[in-house]
Copies of this chain bind each other. A is one copy, B any other.
Amino acid sequence: MKSLPLHIEIDPAFYCKNPDSTELGRKIITYSIDMIDKLGFEAFTFRKLAKSIGSTESSIYRYFENKHALLAYLFCWYWSWKEYQLVFATNNLEDPGTKLKEAIRILTEEVTEDSSVSYINEVTLHRIIIAESAKVYLTKAVDTENEKGYFRVYKRVVSRVGSFALELNPDYEFPHMLVSTIIEGSHAQRFFSDHLPSLTDTETGKQNIVRFYTEMTFKTIAR
């Protein structure tokens, strides 16, 4: 992915005070990405975060209602970033097959370069998305949060890539199921690859996850 001066704006529903607007806010994002990655979401607390930043719990609460809202913010940021990549990479492509292939690559490949935004480490963020993002929606609050628009960007990504599949085969019945399977499936595979390798078939350097989901998709939607 190209390194461009990129600015991602997040819907105010995700925060009390925009973390992108102040030094402390940006520090909260930078350090929380690091801490969630290191401690895991359960052991991560605002108290620990405050201590590592050299600030206080109450200051952090001015930016986010609680740690779940912060995770949702990161989730939204990640999908806004992916959406941007998708648009950028497919805008000028004519052939629907190439477009879909590019999209699957963007959704399933490893993130290895930290480039786009100065205070956000995309490589670490991707690891958090793999290990923690299901926790954003696997809660009893999912319906309320859905109403607040927490999943709007994610849905837009699924819908966009689903429409690429429909360009190839307008009769295909399950485009959303296909795309959300690719996304959630590939995250699971990356996690399994690191921790429960017998549940997957990855081999170093062979891009098997990208290959599997690409082949699966094209065979599945073929008429």
Residue positions of A touching B, CB distance < 8 A: 39-40, 42-43, 131-132, 134-135, 137-140, 142-143, 146, 151, 154-155, 158-159, 173-178, 180-181, 184-185, 188-189, 191-192, 195-196, 198-202, 208-209, 212, 215-216, 219-220, 222
Name the B residues within 8 Å of A134 (CB-CB).
134, 138
Cα-based distance from A135 to B139 in the complex (angstroms): 11
Q: Is the CB of A174 within 8 A of B201?
A: yes
Question: Which of B132, B198, B202, B219 makes the CB contact (< 8 A) with A155?
Answer: B198
Cα-based distance from A179 to B188 in the complex (angstroms): 12
9 closest residue pairs by CB, A with B = A40-B140, A181-B185, A219-B219, A184-B188, A174-B201, A180-B199, A174-B212, A216-B220, A142-B195
Name the B residues within 8 Å of A158 (CB-CB).
198-199
Main secondary structure of the interface of A (DSSP, over half): helix
Name the B residues within 8 Å of A192 (CB-CB).
180
Name the B residues within 8 Å of A185 (CB-CB).
180-181, 184-185
Q: Given contacts A40-B140, A131-B138, A222-B219, are A180 and B200 in contact (CB under 8 A)?
A: yes
Name the B residues within 8 Å of A154 (CB-CB).
199
Assuming A135-B135, A177-B212, A181-B212, what are 10 further A-B pairs, CB within 8 angstroms? A40-B139, A131-B138, A137-B191, A146-B196, A155-B199, A158-B199, A181-B188, A181-B216, A219-B219, A219-B220
Q: Is the CB of B176 within 8 A of A200?
A: yes
Cα-based distance from A155 to B197 in the complex (angstroms): 10
Cα-based distance from A40 to B200 in the complex (angstroms): 29
Cα-based distance from A173 to B134 in the complex (angstroms): 28
Name the B residues within 8 Å of A222 (CB-CB).
219
Q: Given contacts A184-B185, A185-B181, are A198 and B220 in contact (CB under 8 A)?
A: no
Cα-based distance from A195 to B138 in the complex (angstroms): 10
Q: Is the CB of B137 within 8 A of A195?
A: yes
Q: Is the CB of A195 within 8 A of B146?
A: yes
Question: Which of B131, B196, B200, B215 makes the CB contact (< 8 A) with A151?
Answer: B196
Cα-based distance from A185 to B143 in the complex (angstroms): 20
Name the B residues within 8 Å of A177 (CB-CB).
189, 200-202, 208-209, 212
